Amino acid sequence: MNLVGKTVLITGASRGIGEAAAYAFAQAGANVGLIARSTDAIAEIAGKIGEKALAIPCDVSRYSDVASAVAATAQTFGGLDVLINNAGVVDPIGHLQDTDPAAWSRTIDINVKGVMHGMHATMPGMIAQGHGTIINISSGAAHGPVEGWTAYCSSKAAAYMLTRAADKESRDKGLRIMGLSPGTVATQMQRKIKASGINPVSQLDWSEHIPPEWPAQALVWMCTPEADAYLGDDISLRDEDIRQKVGLV
């Protein structure tokens, strides 16, 4: 999986899947732009990677932030080939009637509008150059309801339709757009879910969650032609056939 000379922009890169993806893409030879609200965290990750990494403070819910980050990454590395829309939150956890409407709206701002912002800012340049890959981090919650996660399920379902609609509009322009549904991953989000105790996911033992390095490796694989059969759809890491193709068996 040689990505030497390619440039990848990763949202929510300060921890979890985003952090693991930053290291995985750098190891594959790519330049990586890291964006997140946690300035110190992405600066530390970029420092470990070295000159092939750029850390940019960014709130994906603000389009101006995202557009500036995309422009800075493209200017620094001479273009942009891959966007990983990873930033996301699971709050508020609770039954719909008990949740804070403002917190519910904030999840939509990050999980839906944040994904759209990334796509909107990167697609013109990708279309102009005739190629580009956009991968949106999806979830099983995009395809089925989960108790206590009305905001998260709704936002991930919307992001899934963004993946499908954008693929329909731009595949013939050279863009590769798809989603990755990683399953349950051992990240800080799972600790928050565990503490809620509100649904079966919160009852899972920590050992049942996969390490963030697995979806990171899958994201690198999805940037190769081997994943072209899945354009416009979600790839699930729960699928043993997919794990075998990625090399996770």
The model's pLDDT over 84-124, given as tens digits with 9 standing for 90+, comes to 999 999 999 999 999 999 999 999 999 999 999 999 999 99
Residue from 207, 211, 206, 205 nearest 243 by CA: 211
Token output for 82: 């891959």
Q: What is the mean pLDDT of residues 168-174?
A: 98
Residues 6+ apart with CB under 8 A from 70: 9, 80, 118, 121, 122, 125
Q: Are 120 and 171 in contact (CB under 8 A)?
A: no
Please tell me which residue in 23, 63, 152, 230 is annotated as part of the active site. 152
pLDDT at 206 over 80: no
Catalytic-residue membership of 152? yes
- In this prediction, residue 69 carries a pLDDT of 98
- In this prediction, residue 184 carries a pLDDT of 81
| Separation of alpha carbons 152 and 107, rounded Å | 7
Tell whether domain 7-243 is in CATH 3.40.50.720. Answer: yes
| Separation of alpha carbons 92 and 115, rounded Å | 19
Q: What is the mean pLDDT of residues 124-134?
A: 97
Token output for 15: 């921890």
- In this prediction, residue 189 carries a pLDDT of 80
Where exactly are the structural domains of the chain?
Answer: 7-243
pTM over 0.85: yes
User: Which position has the higher pLDDT, 194 or 34?
Assistant: 34
